[in-house]
């Protein structure tokens, strides 16, 4: 059963979805979604584990605009997660993130490596943005400010999901569209600025000594399997699972296979 709770993190109310009991795995969501994207995994928590999925700053149903507030950095997102762990009296945890959630996990590896015992990196990449990617983010910021979240959903959806989902899973696309359309414009533009400014995390990879699981959808066009293979080779204690018939949002597109790979990894790591 999924539990929903509100936790005060450094003065900001943060919604968390939780399920299971045992060693904590914190799951960080993709851009521009929210903690609800982890519901399929929260429905299937392996024995001995407690999954916690927070909304990142600005996202989720509790999001309130912070007028005049400056755009967050990836380090701010990471410090929010560390603050959540403090509020939950959780000195250590396993960390996992999909895409932007992975970028936040890398920032946590830099800022608080002593607090983690394992890592799951799904459909993500350690590199900083290229100049062309930064330009595309600036265009997306302009689009969000001019036309709102629905225009962002329309622009992003074709790339966020794989061909199989495009062809045969309209219900999954509808769930993703709803989540993106509900994201406040300020959260979208803030996260875009944070992603645009994030540093290269490749040097962190060889320093990650904990067990690592790299997951990627076979049809992921944003962070394709070749990137995941390179990342996995750089991680000393890691395994790679390629999820067939899934794109960039593999946990939502092929939830059963994603959860099975996750459970298999976590059970060997407990």
Q: Of 49 and 250, which CB lies nearer to ligand MLT in the complex structure?
A: 250
Residue listed under structure tokens 């629905």? 150
Least distance from ligand MLT to the Cβ atom of residue 42, Å = 19
Evaluate whether 176 touches 165 at the Cβ level (below 8 Å).
Answer: no
Name which of 22 and 197 has its Cβ closer to ligand MLT: 197
Verify binding: residue 222, ligand MLT, rule CB under 6 A.
Answer: yes
Residue 91 φ/ψ region, left for φ over 0, alpha for ψ in the -120 to 50 degree band, beta for the rest? alpha
Q: Kindly give, in sequence order, each residue whose CB lies less than 8 Å from that of residue 58, ignoring residues fewer than 6 positions away.
A: 66, 72, 184, 186, 187, 190, 191
Binding to ligand MLT by residue 136, rule CB under 6 A? Answer: no
Q: Least distance from C-beta 6 to ligand MLT, angstroms? A: 24
Q: How far apart are CA 145 and CA 265, in angstroms?
A: 41
Angle between helices 185-196 and 74-87 (to 10 degrees): 110
Per-residue x/- track, 167-206, ligand MLT (CB under 6 A): ----------------------------x-----------
- Which of 27, 30, 105, 216 binds ligand MLT (CB under 6 A)? It is 30
Cα-to-chain-centroid distance, residue 156: 16
Shortest Cβ 75–ligand MLT spacing (Å):
17
Interface residue list for ligand MLT (CB under 6 A): 30-31, 99-100, 195, 222, 248
């Amino acid at each position: 059963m999924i539990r929903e709770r509100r936790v005060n993190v450094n003065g900001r109310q943060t919604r968390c979805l939780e399920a299971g009991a045992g060693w904590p795995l914190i799951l960080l969501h993709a851009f521009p979604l929210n903690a609800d994207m982890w519901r399929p995994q929260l429905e299937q928590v392996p024995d001995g584990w407690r999954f916690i999925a927070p909304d990142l700053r600005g996202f989720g149903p509790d999001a309130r605009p912070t007028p005049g507030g400056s755009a967050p950095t990836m380090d701010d997102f990471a410090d929010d997660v560390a603050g959540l762990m403090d509020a939950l009296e959780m000195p250590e945890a396993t960390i996992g993130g999909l895409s932007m959630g992975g970028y936040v996990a890398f920032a946590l590896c830099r800022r608080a490596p002593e607090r983690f015992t394992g890592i799951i990196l799904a459909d993500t990449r350690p590199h900083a943005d290229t100049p062309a990617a930064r330009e595309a983010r600036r265009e997306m910021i302009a689009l969000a400010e001019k036309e709102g979240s629905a225009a962002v959903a329309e622009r992003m959806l074709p790339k966020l999901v794989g061909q199989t989902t495009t062809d045969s899973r309209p219900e999954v696309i509808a769930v993703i569209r709803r989540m993106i359309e509900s994201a406040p414009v300020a959260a979208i533009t803030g996260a875009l600025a944070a992603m645009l400014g994030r540093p290269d995390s490749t040097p962190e990879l060889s320093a990650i000594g904990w067990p690592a699981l790299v997951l990627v959808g076979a049809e992921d066009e944003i962070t394709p399997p070749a990137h995941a293979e390179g990342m996995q080779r750089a991680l000393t204690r890691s395994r790679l699972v390629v999820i067939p018939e899934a794109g960039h949002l593999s946990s939502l597109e092929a939830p059963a296979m994603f959860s099975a790979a996750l459970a298999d990894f976590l059970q060997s790591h407990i």
